[in-house]
Amino acid sequence: MSTADPTDRGHAVEVVDLHRRYGSFEAVRGVSFQVQQGEVLALLGVNGAGKTSVLEVVEGLARADRGSVRILGADPVTERARVRPHLGVLLQSSGLPGDLTVGETLHTWARTLTRPRPVAEALAQVKLSSRAHIRVRSLSGGERRRLDLALALLGRPRVVVLDEPTTGLDPQSRRTVWELVQSQVAGGCAVVLTTHHLEEAERLADRIAVMRAGRIVLTGTQAEIAATQPATIHFTLDDGALPLPPLPAVEVITGPPRVKLHTGALQPTLAALLAWSAERGIDLIGLDARPASLEQAFLAVADSPAGGPSPCRRLTAPTSRSS
């Protein structure tokens, strides 16, 4: 939850100033983050933000052009043999031979691993027990993705990297995936995942990092990230001509009678508003006050023009917000 102490040696995943380029295109421009055991970090960002490019280095499939990645203290490329028995990877695009059955696919993979879990257990985890004798090519998209996930988790990994684990899945398959990820985390796994579903990040992630054009532009807990955007207050007044009271640090988006306010300090604004209405005996019809959602915060930073340098807002503690 709290920001990691940089001297803490317990990082399951540690990425420091990671850079990657394809030819002259710099896909990753200085990304840093850490993940502890039992913690989930969600990397968000529009397509092309560099999420998969970061993950490929974490997975040990590509080298960093600059910076470093450590998985349980070891380099995933140069110390691959040490890292791999503890790393579970679900690729965004992943292929399986269509003419093997689900059971054969898992058995084959299990035989390549140091500490595989029993195949029957893996099948049950992803609710494919009844499909063990089906050829992979006959599976639905959701079943295939669940089989992919079963393979990723087959070696009892302590660090799990999931690149868009639920893209294209039906709600039920998605729920299965979520429950499985949560059970891994409860067992002490560190998880890094990317997703386009903000609901998924809200549901699974302890911390969220939003990437844009190869950089992390926003990072923190879900609440911290949402708090970067103003809260919204809605209400309607009977008397459209009534002037609003002076409210500090409030932006009036639409005036009476249908009022919409943005505020960085929801509670004091609301208190002032309620005091004013009580004093004057005014009805705030349909009063609605809510903090910004993760989605609002995401849309505010993720899709803005990629051009200029944008400062990374590192949110250390939610209490540091000025009131």
Partner 1 sequence: MTTVPETLSTNTTGSSALGRIRALTAAETRLLLRNRTAVVNSVLAPLLLVAVTWVLGVTGTQASGLVVTAIGITLVLTTYSNLVSTFVARREEFVLQRMRTGELTDGEILLGSAVPTLMVSLVQIAVVAVGAVVIGDWTAPVDVVLPVLATIGGAALMVLLAAVSTAFTRTAESAQITTMPFVVATTVLSGLYLPLTAFPEAIASAARFLPLTPVVELTRLGLAGQAWDGTAVDTAGAWAQSPLPLTVLAGWVVIGAALARRMFRWAPRR
Q: Report the residue number, 86 or 207, with the smaller CB distance to partner 1.
A: 86
Q: Does 89 bind partner 1 (CB under 8 A)?
A: yes
Q: Report the residue number, 187 or 245, with the smaller CB distance to partner 1.
A: 187
**Total site size for partner 1, rule CB under 8 A:** 37
Q: Report the residue number, 158 or 215, with the smaller CB distance to partner 1.
A: 158
Shortest spacing between CB 226 and partner 1, in angstroms? 33
Interacting residue with partner 1 among 9, 23, 320, 322 (CB under 8 A): 9
Tell me which stretch binds partner 1 (CB under 8 A): 138-146, 150-158, 174-182, 257-265.
150-158
Alpha-carbon gap, residue 60 to 142, rounded angstroms: 26
Interacting residue with partner 1 among 72, 217, 237, 247 (CB under 8 A): 72
Interacting residue with partner 1 among 14, 59, 143, 224 (CB under 8 A): 59
Q: Does 77 bind partner 1 (CB under 8 A)?
A: no
- Look up residue 141 and give its two tokens: 């998209």
Q: Does 6 bind partner 1 (CB under 8 A)?
A: no
Q: Report the residue number, 188 or 240, with the smaller CB distance to partner 1.
A: 188
Q: Does 196 bind partner 1 (CB under 8 A)?
A: no
Interacting residue with partner 1 among 3, 61, 68, 271 (CB under 8 A): 61
Q: Report the residue number, 91 or 282, with the smaller CB distance to partner 1.
A: 91
Query: Strand 159-163 relative to strand 231-236: parallel, antiparallel, unpaired?
Result: unpaired
Q: Does 83 bind partner 1 (CB under 8 A)?
A: yes
> In the 3-class helix/strand/coil scheme, how is the chain assigned residue by residue?
CCCCCCCCCCEEEEEEEEEEEECCEEEEEEEEEEEECCCEEEEECCCCCCHHHHHHHHCCCCCCCEEEEEECCECCCCCHHHHHHHEEEECCCCCCCCCCEHHHHHHHHHCCCCCCCCHHHHHHHCCCHHHCCCEHHHCCHHHHHHHHHHHHHCCCCCEEEEECCCCCCCHHHHHHHHHHHHHHHHCCCEEEEECCCHHHHHHHCCEEEEEECCEEEEEECHHHHHCCCCEEEEEECCCCCCCCCCCCCEEEEECCCEEEEEECCHHHHHHHHHHHHHHHCCCCEEEEEECCCHHHHHHHHHCCCCCCCCCCEECCCHHHCCC
Which residues, 99 to 118, sit near partner 1 by CB under 8 A? 99-100, 104-105, 108-109, 111-115
Q: Report the residue number, 112 or 254, with the smaller CB distance to partner 1.
A: 112
Give Cα separations from 175 to 127, 136, 166, 258, 303 (angstroms): 11, 22, 9, 39, 28
Q: Report the residue number, 81 or 241, with the smaller CB distance to partner 1.
A: 81
Q: Does 189 bind partner 1 (CB under 8 A)?
A: no
Task: Check if the beta carbon of residue 42 is closer than 8 Å to that of residue 49.
Answer: no
Interacting residue with partner 1 among 155, 165, 214, 264 (CB under 8 A): 155
Q: Does 145 bind partner 1 (CB under 8 A)?
A: no
Interacting residue with partner 1 among 86, 174, 207, 215 (CB under 8 A): 86
Which residues contact partner 1 by CB under 8 A? 9, 59, 61, 72-74, 80-87, 89, 91, 93-97, 99-100, 104-105, 108-109, 111-115, 148, 151-152, 155, 158
